[in-house]
Structure 1
Amino acid sequence: MPPGDGPGVARPSAHAQERSGDSGTERLNRFLARAGVASRRAADQLISSGSVRVNGKRPPATGLEIDPDQDTVTVDGRLVKPPSKHRYVMLNKPLGVITTSRDESARTTVLDVIGQEGLLGHRLFPVGRLDADSTGLLLLTDDGDVAYRLTHPRYKVDKEYVVTVAGVPRSNELKALREGVKLDDGMTAPAEVEMMRATTGARDSGRAELRVVIREGRQRQVRRMVEAIGHKVLGLRRTSFGPLRLGRLKTGGWRVLSSGEVIALRRATGLDVT
């Protein structure tokens, strides 16, 4: 038995080899990161702490190469399923960040925010529009089928926004948003609109916070809808996209979607989940 090994420590096997470059194998920390368990650094900590098991045994703290199709990996007793061949990353986009893969003016893009750890060797692209003045949920993926269906009007995928506006919209203005307003590129489809809160100021007309749900994806659509009823947008944040919810993800933070979220996305767009 090699020095330092014990009966409860995983050693290289036919499928899990402490080597690189072999077909079908990858580092354990990379596998855990791709599966959405944790970042590579956090995965290393999980491995060192003893939370991870490979084929029922504790892997060495120095790491291990595994075969995702053959080896069984658990974290705190829970099975980690091999990740999809595609990668899905949810970002809480900060203000001023450009929703594009690259920018000729060297402005900060969403890919700059998630960095190489977020990309993990994949060529991700943002799904749908979220302009520089807007914040909130943005999906990045290399799954073209999911991206196409999420953004195509035919599939009627809900996109929810919290919009802060100058002034307090009247009931007839809210009704107009719900029924559709005329923009320069045509009438909008009916939207769900709810007044969440409103305040009136002594020196101005106050402000209001609206929840708006649309099923289209025109450029700067929600902003233009609100401006069409005579109110300026002070802030716009996307809080959900189809079955995805922003939740408590901090501004500038990102995470890999869980397998359940990926399945929900595919179901929402009518794609096979097997």
Structure 2
Amino acid sequence: MTQAGRQGSPRNSSGRGGADRNKPKGNTPRRGTAGGGFSGGSAGAGQRGQGFGSDRPQRAPKPREERFIDPDLAGSQQGGASERSSKPSSRKPAARKPGAKKAPGTPGALKPKPRTGAPGAAASRAFGSERFGQNLGPVRKPGRKKRPRTDVPQSELHDADGVRLQKVMASAGVASRRVCEEMIAEGRVEVDGQVVTELGVRIDPATAVIHVDGLRIQLDENLVYMVFNKPKGVVSTMEDPDGRPCISDFLKNNKNTGERLFHVGRLDVATEGLLLLTNDGELANRLTHPSYEVPKTYLVQVRGPFPQGIGAQLKAGVELEDGPAAVDSFRLVDSTPGHVLIEVVLHSGKNRIVRRMFDAVGFPVQRLVRVKVGPIGLGDQRQGSIRNLGKQEVGHLLASVGL
């Protein structure tokens, strides 16, 4: 067949005959009309119209009905199709809620919900912008009987030569001065045990004791509070005559090296975990005094299997050479072949108390780590490191012993 014949063949759509066969018959819409395909275009382009090669008249598509979007759910719908749920929401649309049609600020109108992570979300809490101490919960005070307190007029708390209360709070990092004024007006601030609601009160920062929502505000910048994660093999002393590793070896690179620090309590050489370091003598005495019953949390590893009834026996109390001892709580954390991990909480400060109690029930301790003292925990702090407590943590720690 000649080349001209091949060009006119029905199998070759590029020829003249092929182009005529691909033209749609009937009332073909002109180029530019809504929904129509292009003459001589591809099949995909024509099929996107009303129908390729159809004799029916073209109809304009119906306008799309805008779907109602609940403002309360709009944030979750922006995450993409992977986060959308095919199930209908059980929440009532905002337009159907009572007071939805009322103007903001009028009686009965809907109140805007505070957004999580908004700039002012944590501003109403004392030291709300700090990294540490956010999850310590409410302030816990020791369950000791307090003497009846007589109401003192706020005028007697006023010191004409002192500093305004809201300025002292803002300088201590509690919050901005405006938020501190709101805290005072709401009755959330105590000075020397007396609630203050007047904004003009002046105090002496050197002698005044301030609490916000029960949280003690430490105004003495010379006091130091730190957490040390003691490794195994380190002696719980500042100096060791035998030359063994001690706490001072880990303080060499700390800026508070010149301060004379106390270690609160002791851990034996084989025990790891949390040690508090401070130069606040009153706090150190109260944390170690048995009358304040400061709880301490330990993770204990023993050989397995661990039979039932041992935990109840430890909670009921075991007899030791220096008297009976009991744990406050007992919880099985993990169990693997040959090893069992247990969490115990107790407030006793006797020497090697945890090891001696487990020896008494026939399960010698293989590894022992103290993870918490009062409200202060190790978290993800690495072994051998020292960090300063946040002001919110210090406030919880002081409040736990009645300071």
TM-superposed CA distance for 1:144, in Å, is: 1.2
CA RMSD of aligned residues (A): 2.5
Query: 1:1-274 counterparts in 2 under 5 A?
Result: 84-115=221-252, 117=254, 119-200=256-337, 206-271=338-403
Larger relative contact order (CA 8 Å, sep ≥ 6): 1
* Contact 2:262/2:284 (<8 A) preserved: no
Distance in structure 1 (CA, Å) of the matches to 2:328 and 2:287: 17
CA shift in 2, pair 1:85/1:195, >3 Å = same
Code of the residue aligned with 1:264 in structure 2: it is: H
Give the CA deviation at 1:82: 6.7
Local SS of the residue matching 2:252: helix
Q: In the TM superposition, what is the alpha-carbon distance from 1:83 to its structure 2 partner?
A: 5.9
Change (3 A) 1:118 1:108: farther
Larger Rg belongs to: 2
C-alpha separation between the residues in 1 aligned to 2:374 and 2:281?
16
Does the CA contact (< 8 Å) of 2:299 and 2:343 recur in 1?
Answer: yes
Q: Could you tell me whether the CA contact under 8 Å between 1:91 and 1:138 is conserved in 2?
A: yes
1:18 is matched with which residue?
none
Offset of residue 84 of structure 1: 3.0
* In 2: Cα distance, 1:159 partner to 1:96 partner: 21
Secondary structure of the 1:240 match is strand
- Unpaired stretches in structure 2, ≥5 consecutive residues: 1-129, 132-167, 177-217
Task: Give the aligned length.
Answer: 195
In structure 1, what is the Cα distance between the partners aligned to 2:253 and 2:355?
32
Aligned-pair CA distance for 1:118: 5.1
Once residues 172 and 225 of structure 2 are traced to their aligned partners in structure 1, the CA distance between those partners, rounded to angstroms, is: 21
Paired residue type of 2:385: G
Structure 2 vs 1, CA of residues 122 and 230 (structure 1 numbering), >3 Å: closer, same or farther? same
The change in CA–CA distance for 1:82 and 1:120 in structure 2 (over 3 A counts) is farther
Structure 1 residue 248, shift from structure 2 partner: 0.7
> In the superposition, relative to structure 1, how do residues 208 and 173 fare at CA in structure 2: closer, same or farther (>3 Å)?
same
SS in 2 for 1:115: coil
Among all aligned residue pairs of Structure 1 and Structure 2, give the percentage whose two residues are the same amino acid.
38
Tell me which amino acid in the other structure corresponds to 2:371. Answer: T
Alignment TM-score, normalising by the size of structure 1: 0.66
Find the residue that maps to 1:119 and give its secondary structure: coil
The Cα shift of 1:191 comes to: 2.4
TM-score computed with the length of structure 2 as normaliser: 0.45
